């Protein structure tokens, strides 16, 4: 089985190329989502959607907002964990939180998360002496945390409630349970692999020492908390009737999120929504659409506006105050008012070559 998978992977890489495969997958997902969304919304009643929005309990919206805030708070630990993994212990939590929140807010809304989020991270972390390679490593470790969390949630959730995944992939529950067990087996194998001895991937300056078994469990916990809070926010915004179990909603939410992620659409627009509407077929469409609109406002629009404001104020602050602001005697770089990071020159005293946060 493993040899067959390797042969297929080698064929795709040699004959087609993974970039083309990824592009075709994204386009296919987008086209299918567009068709599904068009069909499902063709007979939608706007008045009923507005009525559903007005009928949403304020308490539910506030709780959803709180869960979204908790989710973004958890996202800050993606960056903190990644920084500690690559040995950049001099970067404090407040900088990791700033980079994590703003990069994910931009990535979620603009799309192409690796590039947009990476650019935001580099602008912030370069002030603390990190290079583009360091930022690439941070993106890799943060992405690994994301995928480990997703694998755990989907594996455990679908193994427990396989029919929930059937609402999206249309596979029989038995097949979904088998797929879930495969995911859990691969996940368990990875944990054992990194637990046995230190593992390093990459070469030369691109080398990354993977988190050991215990730290991998921490990664998984961070990913689960992130997805759990987001799923709770969505759970508060779906209609009350008919009742749906949180585990079922969480599985649907994570699967829809992954489809949106694979499409590379800004904000997973259309793809996430189509998947949720299809999976939550038992609910009134107008009610689900109202919940999705509120979720987008809370999870995408508001955080993006806040992130833009924070970055704008930060840039203005650095431009006006110059390189002497917010110095920390432990840092090796100096921030220029426009370049973001200027190399420290030899012969300077520590206090003369410190960064701006």
pLDDT tens, position by position, 239-265: 888 888 999 999 999 998 888 777 666
pLDDT on residue 338:
32
Give the mean pLDDT of 12-35: 59
Partners of 208 in the β-ladder: 201
Residue 328 located in a structural domain: no
Residue 230 located in a structural domain: yes
Residue 157 located in a structural domain: yes
- Cα–Cα distance for residue pair 74/89, rounded to 1 Å: 19
Residue 340 located in a structural domain: no
Report yes or no: 61 and 297 within 8 Å, Cβ to Cβ: no
pLDDT digits (tens, 9 = 90+) for 132-154: 999 999 999 999 999 999 999 99
Residue 51 located in a structural domain: yes
Residue 15 located in a structural domain: no
Closest among 311, 328, 355 to 99, alpha carbons compared: 311
pTM of this structure:
0.78
Residue 36 located in a structural domain: no
Residue 191 located in a structural domain: yes
Report yes or no: 272 and 256 within 8 Å, Cβ to Cβ: yes
What total of structural domains would you count in the chain? Answer: 1
pLDDT on residue 351:
36
Report yes or no: 97 and 125 within 8 Å, Cβ to Cβ: no
pLDDT digits (tens, 9 = 90+) for 68-122: 999 999 999 999 999 999 999 999 999 999 999 999 988 877 766 777 788 889 9
pLDDT on residue 47:
81
- Cα–Cα distance for residue pair 168/199, rounded to 1 Å: 36
- Residue 216 tokens read as 């991998």
In degrees and rounded to multiples of 5, residue 127 shows phi and psi of: -70, -15
Helix (H, G, I), strand (E, B), or coil: what is residue 171?
A: coil
Which residues fall within 8 angstroms of residue 216, CB to CB, at 6 or more apart? 148, 190, 191, 194, 195, 210
Residue 281's domain spans which residues? 44-322
DSSP H or E run through 105: helix 93-110
DSSP designation for 205: G
Residue labelled with tokens 């080398």: 207
């Amino acid at each position: 089985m493993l040899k067959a998978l390797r042969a297929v992977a080698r064929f795709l890489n040699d004959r087609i190329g993974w970039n083309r495969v990824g592009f075709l997958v994204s386009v296919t997902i987008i086209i299918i989502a567009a068709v599904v969304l068009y069909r499902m919304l063709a007979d939608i009643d706007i008045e009923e959607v507005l009525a559903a929005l007005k009928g949403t309990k304020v308490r539910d919206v506030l709780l959803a907002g709180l869960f979204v805030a908790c989710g973004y708070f958890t996202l800050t630990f993606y960056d903190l964990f990644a920084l500690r993994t690559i040995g950049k212990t001099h970067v404090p939590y407040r900088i990791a939180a700033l980079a994590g929140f703003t990069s994910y807010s931009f990535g979620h809304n603009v799309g192409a998360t690796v590039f947009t989020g990476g650019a935001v991270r580099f602008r912030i972390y370069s002030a603390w002496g990190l290079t583009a390679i360091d930022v690439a490593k941070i993106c890799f470790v943060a992405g690994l945390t994301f995928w480990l969390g997703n694998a755990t949630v989907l594996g455990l959730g679908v193994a427990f409630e396989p029919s929930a995944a059937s609402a999206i992939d249309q596979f029989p529950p038995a097949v979904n349970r088998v797929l879930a067990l495969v995911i859990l087996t691969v996940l368990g194998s990875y944990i054992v692999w990194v637990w046995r001895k230190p593992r390093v991937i990459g070469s030369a300056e691109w080398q990354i020492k993977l988190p050991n078994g215990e730290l991998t469990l921490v990664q998984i916990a961070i990913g689960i908390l992130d997805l759990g809070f987001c799923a709770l926010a969505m759970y508060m915004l779906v209609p009350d009737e008919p009742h749906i179990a949180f585990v079922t909603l969480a599985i649907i939410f994570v699967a829809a999120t992954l489809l949106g992620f694979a499409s590379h659409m800004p904000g997973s627009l259309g793809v996430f929504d189509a998947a949720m509407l299809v999976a939550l077929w038992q609910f009134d469409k107008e009610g689900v659409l109202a919940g999705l609109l509120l979720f987008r406002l809370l999870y995408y629009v508001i955080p993006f506006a806040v992130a833009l404001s924070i970055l704008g104020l930060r840039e203005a602050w650095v431009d006006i105050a110059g390189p002497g602001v917010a110095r920390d005697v432990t840092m090796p770089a100096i921030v220029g008012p426009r370049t973001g990071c200027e190399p420290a020159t030899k012969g300077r005293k520590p206090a003369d070559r410190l960064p701006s946060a």
